[in-house]
Structure 1
């Protein structure tokens, strides 16, 4: 499907435009928008995913930072469906307010997008802050980031991102996307991942800030034991009281262990 325009990618914005139709079709199939869904795309770029979503669903909200793409996107979208374009930085968009304004019957939105590699983690953490307003997320990211997101304890890539996301979401890697699917082609493989926020009654974190502080400190210096890495937030007695070994390292601790420790500290 032609987008009707071919603005050059801007390296400083981390732009790599998707053009492989088979990959686009797989993403649309994975999202599988249904009547009543409110799909919000982050970084539509030249509309490679936007227009097939519009053709399938008829209505898409998109957040685009690059002003040079706004007018061409709006013009090209008219033949495919209704595009609601939000102009600006996604990190400044209040997803909770957006869901309250435009959300589905449950007051939720569905996020999708090919995320710029240099902003993927900040965008993921921003989405986490609004997880209750989000039904699910389908993102294309650098393959190694998706591997970190889904990693389990004991893995070399298990870290802060893994723990924070898995405490609040079910993380499912879907498929790998080769560099040739983009223009310009990046130097690494990409991958598509699905994140489904857990229902509020399934999230065991009692205090989001306390949990984030514990996880950040634990992985701040990976080679240190919990006793040393967490000395600014918890002593050995608290670590043991949470059922953890003070001489263990962060990458050995499962998500539930961090949750127990953070909840213990928050209740003290």
Structure 2
């Protein structure tokens, strides 16, 4: 049941620490995000965690319609009330991790946007990845450190499982950094906006997604070890060599294409 304080249609509830809420309020940052998204007629926009509407209302002004997934019941009434002056807002009251994004798309690929709660950013990214075939692109605000990991290349200290899994299925581009002062309350870390564009199936080339995920997980699970040792229970040294990879290398030395080659070498179509 919506609390009476929200029923008036105004945002009177303070940000909830338990939900990882840091509401974006700086209009200059919002304008940069909307410009980066650049919605076109016919686009299906879906926002994850609209909060108090900092991105929602400008996107509605620009595009006219938007679907938003919001978990906090106290925000539903004020979002609905204030959105009426901007455009057509469809609210889905749910945890995004429970939302079937493919079913939501219903045959028309969606464009995902959102200022993601930092404590759930990785689960949300992997959830979106599972529905990548129904997604045109994604523009997310995340902790800067996470964006750096997402976009990192081989040899980087922050290159890891997240980097490989996302880059295997998407083109990842870090766009710009956002300081703590753009939020209420200000987080203790810098944030950044990132764009992810799912790749066409022919550009992915992974025969068995589960096999690929298992190899990447095992390789980075013991990243200080050589592939010979880290993949001991998954691939032996002979199979690694046969895939064209030196078993004495470590996970952070391999490109995404190298991991695809490793997985495909022993995959069952």
Q: TM range, normalised to the smaller chain? A: over 0.9
| Runs of 4+ in structure 1 over 6 Å off | none
Say whether residues 1:157 and 2:158 are aligned partners: yes
| Superposed counterparts of 1:176-255, under 5 Å | 176-255=177-256
Query: Within 1, Cα distance between the matches of 2:87 and 2:242?
Result: 56
- Report the 3-state secondary structure (helix = DSSP H, G, I; strand = E; otherwise coil) of the residue aligned with 2:192: strand
- Report the 3-state secondary structure (helix = DSSP H, G, I; strand = E; otherwise coil) of the residue aligned with 1:127: helix
1:21 counterpart (1, 9, 27): 27
Say whether residues 1:122 and 2:123 are aligned partners: yes
| Superposed counterparts of 1:35-184, under 5 Å | 35-100=41-106, 107-184=108-185
1:31 counterpart (12, 34, 37): 37
Give the CA deviation at 1:204.
Answer: 1.0
Query: Within 2, Cα distance between the matches of 1:263 and 1:98?
Result: 32
Check whether the contact 2:22–2:184 (CA below 8 A) recurs between aligned residues: yes
Q: List runs of 5+ in structure 1 lacking aligned partners.
A: none
Give the CA deviation at 1:4.
Answer: 4.5
RMSD: 1.2
Give the CA deviation at 1:5.
Answer: 2.0
Check whether the contact 2:161–2:220 (CA below 8 A) recurs between aligned residues: yes
The residue that corresponds to 2:15 in the other structure is 9
TM-score by length of 2: 0.95
| Comparing 188-197 and 224-233, the one that deviates more | 224-233
- Report the 3-state secondary structure (helix = DSSP H, G, I; strand = E; otherwise coil) of the residue aligned with 1:228: helix
Aligned length: 261
- Report the 3-state secondary structure (helix = DSSP H, G, I; strand = E; otherwise coil) of the residue aligned with 2:267: helix
- Report the 3-state secondary structure (helix = DSSP H, G, I; strand = E; otherwise coil) of the residue aligned with 1:170: strand
The residue that corresponds to 1:260 in the other structure is 261
Check whether the contact 1:220–1:229 (CA below 8 A) recurs between aligned residues: yes
Q: List runs of 5+ in structure 2 lacking aligned partners.
A: 1-8
